[in-house]
Structure formats: structure tokens, C-alpha cells
């Protein structure tokens, strides 16, 4: 009885393990040949070669957009996360690249600050004092 059960269950378990191991999701961030790995490779190589963030980012983002197998366009925010994940998961593959990762998010933080300043000035209350604002 036990031998019969093992004979039926063992092939199913082996087949399941083979299918799960062959899925690309487990290898996506560690495989330097995927879009994220190639983007990280381009970005880090260009930065280490002395190029500024803007030029390196444009090259890496263009490569990620072209190489992604997604139905939808990869957003700049998602591409930055993809590059960050590739570098963090394989720091030996991208030496000295960690110091450049903050630049991927600096533009986003500056845009948020500019947006907040625009909202504050457009509301008309930016120059009002407390007594002026609450004068009834």
C-alpha cells in the first residue's frame, strides 16, 4: 500500500519541482541577460566610465523598454526599481555601482518637492500669516 502511494505521488512531486524550478520568475533578478540585468549593466558601466546620471539613465531606460517582454510600456519608476534590484541582488556583478543608485530616485524626489511648492503657491495661502488666514 505504501509502495503504491509513493509510486503515484513521487512522479507528481518531481514533475512539480521541475516545473517550478524552470520558471523564469525565480531567475529574473539574478540573470544578467534579462532586461533588468542588461539595464543595470549599461547604467553601471556608463557611470563607472565617467558619464553623468542623465546620459546613463537614458541609455539604460531605452534598453529596458526595448528588451522588456511586457505588453505594457515599462515606466521610469519601474525601470529604476528593476536596476536597483539587479544591483542589490548581484553586487559582485556590478562593482562600485551602489553609490550611483540614489541618483535613480533623486529626480523623483525633486519633482515631488517642485509639485508641493507649486501647490503651495497656487493655493494663495503661502504668503498669508496665521492671523490673516484665520481672521473672521
Structural domain contains residue 22:
no
Structural domain contains residue 92:
yes
Structural domain contains residue 9:
no
Total domains in the fold of the chain: 1
Structural domain contains residue 12:
no
Relative orientation angle of helices 53-67 and 76-89, to the nearest 10 degrees: 100
Nearest CA among 25, 24, 28 for reference residue 39:
28
The predicted pLDDT at position 78 comes to 94
Structural domain contains residue 23:
no
- The string of pLDDT tens digits covering residues 75-109 is 999 999 999 999 999 999 998 999 999 999 987 66
Structural domain contains residue 125:
no
Residues 57-83, buried b or exposed e (16+ Cβ, 10 A)?
A: bebbbebbbeebeeeeebeeeebbebb
Output the pTM of the full model: 0.60
C-alpha cell at 25: 520568475
Domain that holds residue 59: 28-108
Amino acid at each position: 500500500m505504501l509502495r503504491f502511494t509513493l509510486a503515484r505521488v513521487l512522479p507528481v512531486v518531481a514533475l512539480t519541482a521541475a516545473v517550478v524550478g524552470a520558471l523564469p520568475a525565480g531567475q529574473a533578478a539574478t540573470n544578467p541577460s534579462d532586461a533588468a540585468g542588461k539595464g543595470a549593466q549599461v547604467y553601471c558601466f556608463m557611470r563607472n566610465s565617467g558619464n553623468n546620471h542623465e546620459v546613463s539613465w537614458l541609455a539604460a531606460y531605452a534598453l529596458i523598454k526595448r528588451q522588456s517582454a511586457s505588453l505594457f510600456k515599462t515606466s521610469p519608476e519601474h525601470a529604476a526599481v528593476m536596476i536597483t534590484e539587479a544591483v542589490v541582488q548581484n553586487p559582485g556583478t556590478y562593482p562600485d555601482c551602489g553609490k550611483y543608485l540614489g541618483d535613480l530616485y533623486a529626480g523623483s524626489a525633486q519633482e515631488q518637492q517642485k509639485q508641493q511648492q507649486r501647490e503651495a503657491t497656487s493655493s494663495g495661502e503661502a504668503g498669508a500669516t496665521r492671523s490673516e488666514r484665520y481672521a473672521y
